[in-house]
Amino acid sequence: MKQYNVVVVGASGAVGQEILKVLEERNFPLGELRLCATARSAGKEMTCNGKQYVVEETTSDSFNDMDIALFAGGSASKEFGPAAVERGAVVIDNSSNFRLDPKVPLVVPEVNPEDVKWHQGIIANPNCSTIIMAVPLKAIHDAAGIKRVVVSTYQAVSGAGAEGIAELSEQTQAVLSGGAVKPNKFQYQIAFNLIPHIDVFQELDYTKEEWKMVKETRKIMHDESMAITATTVRVPVFRSHSESMNIETCQKLTAGEAKKVLAAFPNIIVEDDPATNKYPMPVDTSNKDEVFVGRIREDNTIEKGLNIWVAADQIRKGAATNAVQIAELVAEYGCARER
């Protein structure tokens, strides 16, 4: 089996660490592995496949002799992505820098794997909430077509990074001990609270996070006519995002039919049994790669409507696992670039 030289940029961060775990768990055919990050993290030691690696500061030369460059997020891909491409690496980018660029494939492997083939050096990893939504939507779209989607998200604090996790922990302790709560990472207190505001407000008073779900989903599904409206909410949960979706289909799909369609789709696990209170929850989906779907029922207000509830680990499937799956497609399709 051919091996691929891989560089992970942002290796010391939450997504970078998860990428290393996923590369190991999925037995990706690694040749040389190089770990890079900012100067602040340079010198840190990390382990993958039982081997110790020292994190290097990212420079343009970090991509010499590399086949695949996995960018864990942030601004690094904007700064170093072109250098990686110039040196012959395929960039798989977890940031929002290239997602809506018409020359860059935006890929969820269960949904549009073939798009990997037309890359010009960069492949974008979608927003975590978009990935989690797109997988079940694809299953339903293939079966009955989708006319309209109304989605509300319940996003874990780890989506805001380590600072979000620390803030929830600190504020929870402060509230329980009667101490003062001072918001820092989030706009308001997050402990014992919900904040219906993720990222900056943009046109029509939707946030950037909400527009990501609209625009990215249309691109991934190759359907600009799909009507999508989103409300994204930060909740006091450490890990795994949840989403409530109301879907209007083009053809009638009963709840029973929808369950069968979803259960048969790759990397979806249906947990749906009202009689035994079985449905997906963040606490049960953390550290797993599948998208969990439940509360599948027909919308009683329209003829062709469904309601579903979805939960998935946004650091795994919503970021690291999806990126490694894209790397696997690059290997499978033989579309790595000549160095």
Residues annotated catalytic, as ranges: 128, 241
The beta-strand segments (E) located in 185-240 are 227-234
CB count in 10 Å sphere of residue 85: 18
291 by Cβ neighbours in 10 Å (0-12 / 13-18 / 19+) ranks as buried
Return all residues near 175 (Cβ < 8 A) that are at least 6 apart: 181, 189, 191, 192
8 Å CB contact between 280 and 132: no
What distance in Å separates the CA atoms of residue 287 and residue 280, rounded to the nearest whole number?
14
DSSP state at residue 205: G
234 by Cβ neighbours in 10 Å (0-12 / 13-18 / 19+) ranks as buried
Dihedral, 48, 51, 56, 61 alpha carbons, nearest 10 = -90
Q: What type of residue is 58?
A: T
CA dihedral for 171, 289, 319, 307, sign (positive or negative): negative
User: What residue spans of 149-248 are helical by DSSP H?
Assistant: 162-176, 208-221
Tokens at 77, concatenated = 């891909």
